[in-house]
Structure 1
């Protein structure tokens, strides 16, 4: 009898491995490539600003407000975008998002005045709104709860690879200054905006809306996924709720507040980090690019580790709090490091810990929100995050313009991240009654159980 149970368990393990491997290889590389391009297209303005601001005579306040405009529109249209994704299907809606944001990103080449800068950044946020939470929800509809953290981290690692790609490609593209009568920053937007359009077209042909429609999954693999998803839904400890309830769940609001503070600080410093390094440390743009590459590699490694660790934790919010405290420490190292390598190390630590903290918050949300509320809940939390991302750069730019340096902004940012750690720890209070049992998550139906 024991041998029979062992054979059944082995069969179930093989079926799980086969299904997860297929899904991982069919979906995650394509979605990761799309997210990589998204991060590049929203962040390349940080490198462009080094020469664009001087050429167009943009002050730090003008630049900061322009960066904020992206996040304002992203926040306004994120929840509606995710609801439309549910209506039209992931394949068509994600393709629409990518094509439109690629076109808007390339249109940055026409910017000449502050209001044109504000308008196109606002349109870029509107076009991209809903992409990340939409993909997060989409992946969670394909992956069982005990595999979800690793799957999302493998997709989210594209943000780290984007730092590598941006740091490596931006300096050479900026070096094209004068080619065909265009400035280097204009070539940057043209070359890095086109892939979004091409990938958007690819999504129309390669992305199934749901696993039941995937021709490359066998019937028994789909049946296994049905059972796993049902078990995961039961483990949330939550009842199905409507859209209104989903938006106002305590975990959504608390996690969203933590994201807002994290994104406010991350976007404020992140979008100014190349300029901060060239101004404060007197580095060349090539050296700033190399630091971005190093940060990206370390972020990628840290994300893979965080995905595995969070899957094994009953309440990953503790990990979020620790990462936010490390982020605050990185900000203080930049502030007091002066022109030494301590400041450079602080920039790397700040980037790595801050990015991974945001990832673990989103993994936590997919674990504790009922599937019927997941799309709206994730979108709402991310919307709050984008509001923070809009406020941060605007205040950062005003502080830099008023004081003539980044010191005040760095000090405030570090204090805010320490406070964010307290908020992140409080996520545990609203998930304490819903924590999935480690025993339950380890007992999954095999291929022969019904």
Structure 2
């Protein structure tokens, strides 16, 4: 590829990036805040409605059971009705249930509302991952996914101090602080539904904001990616995708990574609160590991693309996550435990770019829609297992250290499976850089 071609390609990718990614990032920030703000609400809510650490962990995690049930149907529906309308529908319904969390009056209603919130939000994340495959060639996806998933640590880094400040509204208009938290942080999802309808474009061929030549170039690039492997090397059928051993291994890895991520996210405010800080200070300190996670996510995603390597970057992030969690549990209530948790966050969030670049090595067509949703659905059951185990260990040992070690065990399991079973085909890796492959052919 000559210099002019490179400059033209970068111009198109940059145009698509700024049209697509900022909006999706904002929407995912809203999504993740609504998902994990229960951890901050717990600082005062648990006492008000009678939640023990065990019941809180159960209710926090039950979100992902509802998420699991509707995940695959939601992604298949997105393909049928279009990303713009379906993502708007998801935003509207989850915003309503996020606000409704303010109506919880006890363990039963808390658990039921969390389950319904999971049903409402199901399909948003895998829908976005699938949507990105419509717009970006394979060789850009690790850095693009990393940029999009920067929303996760950003949402916590921003949401942590914001949530604890909202808690200070306790008693205003006769509404408790944690109820204000759910209402105020749920409303943006409802508003976001209208922005999704207005600004999202279903497919590149409908993108009037691209020139005809830019649409043609993008269509050819995406078609070349899809044709880079024979029908034998990419899974095209939904049924085959759900039974494929590699897809199952990817789902297991994501289960472990998500368990570690959300087991930490839901309980981190309470872990820090035990060190004697005020609620506002807890919010500020909680943001520190996630700022580190932001930096780690961008660095790992860019390095993964630069070296055209997914597997070993994914494995390295699991090493960082496991080591940081074990060290945090051992260090207990100290400043150094925050440092260890920051290392863990670099691993937990740094894995996202290399991981979500892997499914496209194995899936195409309808299998991509269902397979990505399946991986995310199974993976998000880890969002039930992680918080549940932390709450269970806290109940049995009255300490969070054992729970952190359990989350580290998830990361070790993901590391082992990645190293032993995930092997992206060399032909598919070469297809990510067709100009290099062409150079090799010329050399022959």
**Post-superposition CA distance 1:162-190 (Å, at most 9, x none):** 01211220121011111111111111111
Q: Any residues of structure 2 matched to 1:382-421 within 5 Å, and which?
A: 382-421=376-415
Tell me the distance in 2 between the aligned counterparts of 1:98 and 1:303: 25
Q: Please tell me whether residue 256 in structure 1 is matched to residue 251 in structure 2.
A: yes
Q: Deviations over 1:218-274 (max 9, x none)?
A: 111011011111221233453452111122223211111011111122222221011
Q: Which moved more, 1:234-243 or 1:140-149?
A: 234-243
Report matched runs for 1:342-361 at 5 Å: 342-361=336-355
**1:222–1:433 Cα change, 3 Å:** closer
Q: 1:29 Cα deviation (Å)?
A: 0.5
1:299 paired with 2:293, answer yes
- Are the counterparts in 1 of residues 430 and 436 from structure 2 also a CA contact under 8 Å? no
Deviations 1:406-436 (A, max 9, x none): 2222222223322221112234336467433
Q: CA deviation at 1:13?
A: 2.4
Q: Residues 363, 94 of structure 1: CA spacing in aligned structure 2 closer, same or farther, 3 A cutoff?
A: same
TM-score when scaled to structure 1? Answer: 0.92
In structure 2, which of residues 83, 88, 95 is the aligned counterpart of residue 95 of structure 1? 88
- Of stretches 263-272 and 309-318 in structure 1, the one that deviates more from structure 2 is 309-318
**1:75-154 correspondence to structure 2 within 5 Å:** 75-154=68-147
Between stretches 32-41 and 251-260, larger displacement belongs to 251-260
Moved more, 404-413 or 428-437: 428-437
> Contact 1:291–1:348 (CA<8 Å) still a contact in 2?
no
5+ residue gaps, structure 1: 1-7, 446-450
Say whether residues 1:325 and 2:319 are aligned partners: yes
CA RMSD of aligned residues (A): 2.0
> Which of these residues, 310, 314, 329, is aligned with residue 316 of structure 1?
310
Counterparts of residues 200-349 of structure 1 (less than 5 Å): 200-236=193-229, 238-239=233-234, 241-279=236-274, 281-349=275-343
Q: 1:427 to 1:218 in 2, by over 3 A?
A: farther
Shift of 1:18: 2.4
**Corresponding residue SS for 1:175:** helix
Match of 2:13 in 1: 20
Aligned length: 437
Unaligned runs of 5+ in 2: 440-444
- Measured in 2, the distance between the counterparts of 1:278 and 1:236 equals 52
1-structure distance, mates of 2:46, 2:314 = 35
Q: What SS does the aligned partner of 1:215 have?
A: coil
**1:358-390 Cα shifts (integer Å, max 9, x gaps):** 342112223443344221111111111111221
Question: Structure 1 residues 438, 206: CA separation in 2 closer, same or farther (over 3 Å shift)?
Answer: closer
TM-score after normalising by structure 2: 0.93
Residue 13 to residue 407, structure 1, CA distance change in 2 (3 Å): closer
